[in-house]
Structure 1
Amino acid sequence: MDFNETAALDAVVASFEGTSDPRLKEILQVTTRHLHALVRELRPTQTEWQQAIDFLTAVGHTCDDTRQEFVLLSDVFGVSMLVETINGDEHGTEGTVLGPFHMTESPRRELGGSIDLMGGSTPCLVTGAVVDDAGRPLAGATIDIWQCSVDGFYDVQEPEKQPPGNGRGLFTTDEQGRFWFRTVVPSHYPIPTDGPVGDLLGASGRHPFRPAHIHVIAEAAGYRPVTTHLFVADSAYIDSDAVFAVKKSLIVDFTEIDDPAGFEHYGMTGPFRHAHFDIRLGREGGPQ
C-alpha cells in the first residue's frame, strides 16, 4: 500500500472489519476516523505528538488506588458530563459526574448517624427521600454519600489527618423512603493540580476549583441508579465549576437554623445548617 493521508485512514478502518463484536467494531472504526481527522487538522510535528504521548503516559502513572487522573482528565474536558448527559434518565433526578475520589467503600451507617468524624464547628443535617417516577417512596433504597471536609480535602487525600471513612456513609432508606444524616457543610476546593491535568489547566489559564458539594449515588432494585451531587447554593465557583458538573436542579439551600424550636424539631442541640434533597429514580425500562 502507498501510505498517504487518505489511504492510511481507509487501511486502518478496514483492518477492524473482522471484529466479531459489532459495538466494538463501531467504536474502533469511529475512533480511528475522528483521530485521523484530528491529526490531519492539527498537523502536529513529531515532537508535539511525542509530547502528547508523554502527557497521556504521565496521566496513567499518576493513577493509583486512591486517585484516578484519567477520570480527572475526562472531567476537565467536559467529557464525563457529556457521557452522563447522554445517558441521563429523563424520569429521574439529574445526574452528574462521579469524580475521582469514589475510590474506597463507604462504611454502612444508621439513619441519623454522622459522617463527620472530625468534629466540625457547625454541624449540618441533610434530609430527603428516595421516590419513584410517580413520587411513591422507595423503602430499602441505598444512598452512598461522600464529601470533602470543611478544609476542602477528602479522607484519601489526608490519610495522616483524617480517619478512614471521614465524610463517607452508606445509608438505607426507611419504610417511607426517607434518609437523613449529620455532617458538615463541605468547602469549595481545587481539583488536584500536582499532576499532568493540573499542568494542563495551568498552561491554558483555567482555574481548578469546584463549588462545594456532596456526592450521592442512589440505588433501588428495579430502578435506574443515579450518580449526582447536592451543590451548596451560596458556594464560590457555582457558576464556573472546573468540571462543568453544576445543574440548576441540583443546587440546594443549606439553610441556617438558629432558633430553639428548630433545634427541637430536627433533634439537634444547637445552631446548624439544614439541606433537604429528594431523589427520584426512574424504573428500568421506563415509567410504569
Structure 2
Amino acid sequence: MRNVSPDTLTDAFAAYAAKAPDARTKAVLCSLAKHLHAFVKETALTHDEWRTGLMALTKAAEITTPERNEFILFSDLFGISSLVDMVNTPAGATSCSNLGPFHQHGAPPLADGGDMWKGQPGEPLVVLGRIVDGATGQGVPGATLDMWQNADNGFYAAQDADQPAKNYHGMLTCAADGSFCFTTTRPKPYTVPYDGPAGDMLRALARDAWRPAHLHLIAEAPGYVPLVTELFPEGDQYLDSDAVFGVRADIVVPLVESSDRAALPAHLAKRDALPEVFLLTEFVVRMARRA
C-alpha cells in the first residue's frame, strides 16, 4: 500500500489481516492496532518517547523470570489485569481479583481444618468459610481452594530464601457442603517490586507501590467457572490506594478478635494451640456454574 497515511494506516493493518484464519484473533489484534494508532496520534508521540517505551519493554524482558514477570506487573499497574478480571466476573459470583506474580503451582495439600501458620511469627488467624453456588446459595461439592499469602515479614516464599519452599501456600479440599476452615497468620501489606521499569513508571507518576494485605485464592469445582480472587482485611490503610486496583467491596472481609476456642470447628487442627486471643474471619465465596 503506497499511499498509507495517519488516516489510512489502521485500515491498512486490517486489510493486511483479511486472510487471518481465526476471526477472534483477527478482531482482537485489529482492535489493538486501532487503539495503539489512536494513542500515537492523540499524544503526538515523539521518537524519544517511543524509544523510551521500547527500552522499558526490553528491560522488562531481561529481568522477567519464572518467579517474577515484569510484564504482568505492568499489566497490574496499568489496571489492565483488574479490568480483565472485572469484565470476566460471572453474574452472581464473587468478584475476581488479581492472580499476582507469586502464585506457585503444586501447592502442598492442606486438609480441611489444616494449618498454614505452623507457629511462625505473626498474629494467628482462624479462617472459616464456605463455597456456594452463586445462584442457589447451596454448598458446592468437590470444591478446592488453592491459597497463598505472604509471611509476617511481608514477603512471599518465592521472594524470601529464609522461608521454606511454598511456605504459606496450600491446596485445600473443602467438605462435601463446601465448608472449610484453616489456621494461618494475618497477611501484611507490601510493596510491589519497583526496582525495574514498572517501578520507573510509578516514580514518574509519583504513585505508591503499596498493596493492602490480602489472602489469594483460586476456587475450583466440577461444573463451575474457576474463580481467582483475593480477600482483603477490613481497616487496612491501603484499601483505597491499591497499586494494582484489586480491591472490590465484596471481597473486603472483617477480622475480629476472639477468645472462644470452643466455638471453633472440632476438626481445626491447631484449635488448642491458639493463643488466648486470636483473629477470626468468616466469608462466603460464590461460584457460577459453567454455561
> For the superposition of Structure 1 and Structure 2, which TM-score range results when normalised by the shorter chain?
over 0.9
2:263 maps to amino acid: H
Question: Gaps spanning 5+ residues in structure 1: where?
Answer: none
Equivalent position of 2:123 in the other structure: 122
Matches within 5 A, 1:104-253: 104-117=105-118, 119-132=120-133, 133-158=135-160, 160-253=161-254
- TM-superposition CA deviations, 1:159-178 (whole Å, max 9, x none): x2110111110000112211
Indicate if the aligned counterparts of 2:215 and 2:230 stay in contact, CA closer than 8 A: yes
Indicate if the aligned counterparts of 1:124 and 1:184 stay in contact, CA closer than 8 A: yes
Aligned pair in 2 of structure 1 residues 255, 26: CA closer, same or farther (>3 Å)?
same
- State the TM-score, normalized to the length of structure 2: 0.93
Matches within 5 A, 1:67-78: 67-78=68-79
How many residue pairs align between the two structures?
Answer: 281
What secondary structure does 1:125 align onto?
A: strand
Indicate if the aligned counterparts of 1:118 and 1:166 stay in contact, CA closer than 8 A: no
- CA–CA separation in structure 1 for the residues paired with 2:199 and 2:105: 23
- State the TM-score, normalized to the length of structure 1: 0.93
Indicate if the aligned counterparts of 1:230 and 1:250 stay in contact, CA closer than 8 A: yes
2:261 maps to amino acid: F
What secondary structure does 1:144 align onto?
A: strand
Q: How far did residue 186 of structure 1 move?
A: 0.6
What secondary structure does 1:5 align onto?
A: coil
Q: How far did residue 104 of structure 1 move?
A: 3.7
Residue range with higher mean Cα deviation, 130-139 or 186-195? 130-139
Q: How far did residue 145 of structure 1 move?
A: 0.5
Equivalent position of 1:280 in the other structure: 286
What secondary structure does 1:249 align onto?
A: helix
What secondary structure does 1:278 align onto?
A: strand
**After TM superposition, where is structure 1 displaced by more than 4 Å over at least 4 residues in a row?**
none
- CA–CA separation in structure 2 for the residues paired with 1:224 and 1:7: 42
Indicate if the aligned counterparts of 1:117 and 1:167 stay in contact, CA closer than 8 A: no
Matches within 5 A, 1:27-42: 27-42=28-43
- TM-superposition CA deviations, 1:208-265 (whole Å, max 9, x none): 00111100110100011111111010212011111111111111111111x3xx0222
What secondary structure does 2:57 align onto?
A: helix
Indicate if the aligned counterparts of 2:146 and 2:218 stay in contact, CA closer than 8 A: yes
Matches within 5 A, 1:266-277: 266=264, 267-268=271-272, 269-270=274-275, 271-277=277-283
Q: How far did residue 97 of structure 1 move?
A: 1.2
Matches within 5 A, 1:49-88: 49-88=50-89
What secondary structure does 2:8 align onto?
A: helix
Q: How far did residue 118 of structure 1 move?
A: 6.1
- TM-superposition CA deviations, 1:25-82 (whole Å, max 9, x none): 1112111111111111112222221111111111122211111211111111111111
Q: How far did residue 117 of structure 1 move?
A: 4.5
Aligned pair in 2 of structure 1 residues 3, 92: CA closer, same or farther (>3 Å)?
closer
Q: How far did residue 103 of structure 1 move?
A: 3.5
- CA–CA separation in structure 2 for the residues paired with 1:134 and 1:9: 47
